[in-house]
Structure 1
Amino acid sequence: MAEFVRSDPSMWEAVFADPSVPLDRAVVRQIIDDQRRPSRRWLYPVAMVLSRVLVTIIRVLKRVLPFRWMPLGTMDSLCVWFLRRCVSPDAVDLLLRHFVIETNLMNFVIRNTPVGIEPVTLRPESLSELGNQAVVEHDVNVYDVLIALDVVPLVARDPLDFRHLDIPPLDAERHRRRLVRLDIQTALCFMNIPFSVALTSDEYRRAVHSMRFDDSFLEILAVITGDDTFRHWKLAGMSLWMDSNVDVPRMVYRHALVCEYAHAQLVKLAGGQYPRDTSVALD
């Protein structure tokens, strides 16, 4: 009798081949390669615990010493230096993509509702553009759009305005020599520390809570487009759940993936190609 041959499939190959993932294959490859970095396996578990402990201590101390411990400009400079010298170009590219993609999502909502605000302009194409309080502006934009929507009806629109879903060429400074090449999740753990130092307690809480609105935006997109697909990615992250004592780097990573999925679905509805002007350069 012939010996039974057990299949030995690769998890990564299955993730890459998954037909339900709406993202461009080059982007999926970037994400997979980033997850397979040695830092993700060996350093991330330590960085996750270290970040959580330090941020908790900082937040407790800030209740006693409620003032800004670090200028926002210093935080920006530290984070940009860290991204240039310690984070892989793939991870930097994914981070820049997120800023552009979330702006595209908010602008889609603005253009397809009678809301009376101007489109969001935060679309950094290079690392240096992250140094002008982009992180704070990124979070504030979410609140501004949601508050503006309070006075307008949310209804399906036909035809939809799919303009400006493009992603411009992004400069992750691949030519620059890195001391180490961290994956995005490990990098987020370390970057969360200066964020908690520089932001006031209210600002930090506001930034963390902004990710609770992911489900809100998915519902808004579902209503505007009439497409239930957006609802499939909701995680019951209700905005009324006022809890900022969470694993922030993990929330940020999932938040970025949700935005990628939603953006890709809008592109699909628009009937166009995935909006990538240049091929993805891998490390």
Structure 2
Amino acid sequence: MKYQPEFLEQAYDPRDPSPWLALYLDRSTPLDDEVKRAWLADSSSRSRQFVLPFMRPLARTLIVLIQVAKVFAPRRLAFSRTLHRLLAWGMENFLRPEANWLILRHFHLGSQVLEFIGKNSGVEVQGNPLRPAAVADVREDMFLVHDLNLFNFVIRLNQNLQAAGRELKFVADPDLSMIKQPELRLEDMPRRWRNFLDLQSSIELFTPIYQLLLTDSDFWRATNSLQLDETIGLYVATILDARSHLVLLNNRHPLVPLSTLRAGFRLTLHGLSTEMLHAFLMGKRDQQAAATAA
């Protein structure tokens, strides 16, 4: 049986309609149904209602203080292994099942989207796909590698296109074989009494920890990677001739890096944009399969 969040179990009252039910029933944007249930269950949690308002200003204050402290610290001082072990421990013990599931999905979806662009670019692009099966897999520097993958992909793709004298263009029959739902089940995520922290609160909390235990270069690269949502969206839109869907992007413009203070909020938008892009590609894959079968 599919997990049912509280807002779907409550009776509909026209005099007191649930905003979460309205958002769930709305189909104006592409999003997998199970993902939408998990996202809205997390968003409607008490943690997001009562913890996030306190967590966000605290996290942003810490970002400023850590930035000042790093002016006087060795520039190459980093504790990546410690960071990822701490993140994995926090996810295992404190994050809601929906939050952990969405985070692990994000690595799979990001790898699939990059592979889709590479396969349909007309040039070979070396990749490093991330496919975590459990929270413990995050310990292997996964967040850091995820950011490196994105920048390395953009560099290698454009270097190879320029070397071949080519550019991205519309593909009438694109290869969508890599687009699929990750083999991750929400019911397999940690579900103890202490797993209460919502996705947005956890991102706000993790951001200054990420900044503290990595070099300035790693942290700035991680936050600036969010600006590449527009870039990746343009690549996909060019291949599919579907630029109207760029309206779903919120982390633009890639040539104007934003302050690290809002990195937590922008990271949440990045996760949602990735889910919507993947849902859009899943729809294209299903249309292609139906046309082939006909």
Tell me which residue corresponds to 1:269: 284
1:155 and 2:169 matched: yes
Moved more, 233-242 or 153-162: 233-242
Q: Distance in 2 between matches of 1:43 and 1:112?
A: 43
State the Cα deviation string for residues 198-238 of structure 1 (Å, max 9, x = none).
Answer: 11111100110000010111111110111124322133712
Q: Provide closer, same or farther for how the CA distance between residues 175 and 45 of structure 1 changes in structure 2, counting only shifts above 3 A.
A: closer
Q: CA deviation at 1:190?
A: 1.2
Q: Which runs of 5+ in 1 are unaligned?
A: 1-5, 274-283
Tell me, yes or no, if the aligned pair for 2:101 and 2:189 is still in contact at 8 Å. Answer: no
Q: Distance in 2 between matches of 1:194 and 1:175?
A: 22
Tell me which residue corresponds to 1:277: none
Q: State the TM-score, normalizing by the size of structure 1.
A: 0.89
Tell me which residue corresponds to 2:178: 164
Q: State the TM-score, normalizing by the size of structure 2.
A: 0.86
Q: Distance in 1 between matches of 2:193 and 2:88?
A: 13
Tell me which residue corresponds to 2:238: 223
Q: Provide closer, same or farther for how the CA distance between residues 256 and 102 of structure 1 changes in structure 2, counting only shifts above 3 A.
A: same
* Alignment equivalent of 2:120, drawn from 91, 112, 123: 112
1:92 and 2:92 matched: no
1:259 and 2:274 matched: yes
Compare the two structures and name the one with the higher helix fraction. Answer: 2
Tell me, yes or no, if the aligned pair for 2:229 and 2:251 is still in contact at 8 Å. Answer: no
Q: Which runs of 5+ in 2 are unaligned?
A: 1-13, 162-166, 289-294
Moved more, 210-219 or 144-153: 144-153
Q: Give identity over the alignment, percent.
A: 26
Tell me which residue corresponds to 1:52: 60
Q: CA deviation at 1:7?
A: 4.7
One-letter code of the match for 2:285? A
Tell me, yes or no, if the aligned pair for 1:106 and 1:120 is still in contact at 8 Å. Answer: no
Q: Provide closer, same or farther for how the CA distance between residues 216 and 134 of structure 1 changes in structure 2, counting only shifts above 3 A.
A: same
The CA RMSD over aligned residues, in Å, is 2.0
Tell me which residue corresponds to 1:3: none
SS at match of 1:252: helix
State the Cα deviation string for residues 28-66 of structure 1 (Å, max 9, x = none).
Answer: 111111011111011101100111101111112112213
Q: Distance in 1 between matches of 2:145 and 2:79?
A: 15
Q: Distance in 2 between matches of 1:193 and 1:236?
A: 20
SS at match of 1:108: helix
Q: Distance in 1 between matches of 2:211 and 2:185?
A: 27
One-letter code of the match for 2:182? P
